[in-house]
Amino acid sequence: MQAWKRLGDVIGRNVAVISPVLVLLAVFFPDFFSVLVRLVPFMFAIITFQGSLGNDFHNLAEAFRHPLPLLITLALATLVLPLLAFLLGILMFGGNPNLVTGIVLEYSVPVAVVSIMWIDMYAGDSSLGLATLLVSTVLSPLSIPLTLHVLLGARVEVDALGMVWSMIVQVALPALAGTALNHVSGGWGKTTLSPAISPATRMMFCLVILANSTAAAPYLHALTPQYAAVIAFIGVFTSGGFALGLAAARALRQPRDRAVTIGFQSGLRNISAGAVIAAQYFPGEAMLPVIAGVLFQQVIAALFGNFIERGWEGAGTHSDAAA
């Protein structure tokens, strides 16, 4: 068991190195790894389940009773970052409305499911993270088309039923199951089960990166200077999302665990949802900024976690966070 847990720790400590290697493998061998795409919802559900084992219903209710941290994240993710993405996108790529559309869409989708794993890994507030993820996902069938209409004039009818069903399968049911198990077991889920399955969820996380990165292959194989500039822009802007979340949390004097949660959930977006919407409603070029997020999100999340761990007094270690 100790060797199994050490494997999980090794993955957690080296995500910043592992992630770009996985992206390159997926880009060069997309056909081989594309078979993993159909497993992504299942793996997301397992990751959510493991992340929710640190909760009980009292803690989850507390996140809603004191909603300031949740509202900070939602304001950044739903209002501030889409607006900034639009303004900077127009400034840099205004001559290509398809790319601007993709940039705005990338930052209009809900918080990423995998943010729960990062919050757990770096000793954030898992109850707050789960509450924010649930609210962000529930709001998305309304917030996405409204954001696109206000900023771009684009009229998009999101498959609300499909998104709600996806939220139920990938987020709500596994989160409820994990929280309920830990609640009725008196904390056994958090102290025993979560560390036992944490290495497995981190391996699934690696498989998710491989699966999602296959969608970027066609665009990287046909790279132009403008496409390269868009990819670089997404990398810089993604970094800004993490930094803005942390800055807002510290400016409002949030404690460390909540600041970690706000930072991760401000930077991590549900790229899969964005890719589906881009493919259904917009020209092919709009897909590029959305898929470009796959290249950066997890690498930047790992660097952000390392910064938190080294630069914030009292930060927990990977093994502490998984305990």
Domain membership flag for residue 321:
no
On the question of pLDDT at 179 being above 80, the answer is yes
The answer to whether residue 138 is domain-embedded is: yes
Tell me which of 2 and 123 has the higher pLDDT: 123
pLDDT band at 208 (very low <50, low <70, confident <90, very high): confident
How would residue 163 be classed by pLDDT, with cut points 50, 70 and 90?
low
Q: H or E segment at 286?
A: none
Please report the sign of the dihedral spanned by the C-alpha atoms of residue 288, residue 289, residue 295, residue 298: negative
- Identify the residue whose tokens are 């800055």: 247
Question: How far apart (Å, rounded) are the C-alpha atoms in residues 223 and 93?
Answer: 16
Mean pLDDT of the region 156-176? 77
Q: Which of 250, 209, 306, 218 is nearest to 69 (CA)?
A: 250
Flag whether 323 is in a domain: no
Q: For residue 38, report the phi and psi dihedrals to the nearest 5 degrees.
A: -70, -15
Residue 87: inside a domain, yes or no?
yes
Q: Cα(119)–Cα(157) distance, rounded to whole angstroms?
A: 32
Q: Which residues pair with 111 in a beta bridge?
A: 269
What tens digit of pLDDT does each residue of 284-323 get?
788 889 888 888 898 899 899 989 888 765 444 333 333 3
pLDDT at 313: 53
CATH of the domain at 258: 1.20.1530.20
Tell which residue, 3, 132, 111, 112, has the closest CA to residue 55.
132
Whether 320 maps to a domain, the answer reads no
Tokens of 236: 């810089």
In this structure, what token pair is assigned to residue 294? 């796959």
What total number of domains does the chain contain? 1
The length of the chain is 323
- 322 falls within a domain: no
Average pLDDT (180-198) is: 91
Collapsing DSSP to helix, strand or coil, 291 comes out as: helix
This prediction has a pTM of 0.84
Burial of 323 from C-beta contacts in 10 A (0-12 / 13-18 / 19+): middle
Residue 241 or residue 215, greater confidence: 241
Q: What stretches of 53-125 show up as alpha helix (H) in DSSP?
A: 57-65, 68-75, 81-93, 97-106, 115-121
Q: What is the pLDDT of residue 214?
A: 85
Residue 279 in any domain: the answer is: yes
Position 223 in a domain = yes
107 pLDDT band (50/70/90 cuts)? Answer: very high
Q: Tell me the residue range of the domain where 104 lies.
A: 2-311
* Residue 112: burial class (beta carbons within 10 Å; 0-12, 13-18, 19+): buried
In this structure, what are the phi and psi dihedrals at residue 107, rounded to the nearest 5 degrees?
A: -110, 15
* Gyration radius (Cα) of the chain, Å: 18
Q: Is the pLDDT of residue 247 over 50?
A: yes
Phi-psi group of 186: left, alpha or beta (phi > 0 → left; psi -120 to 50 → alpha; rest → beta)? left
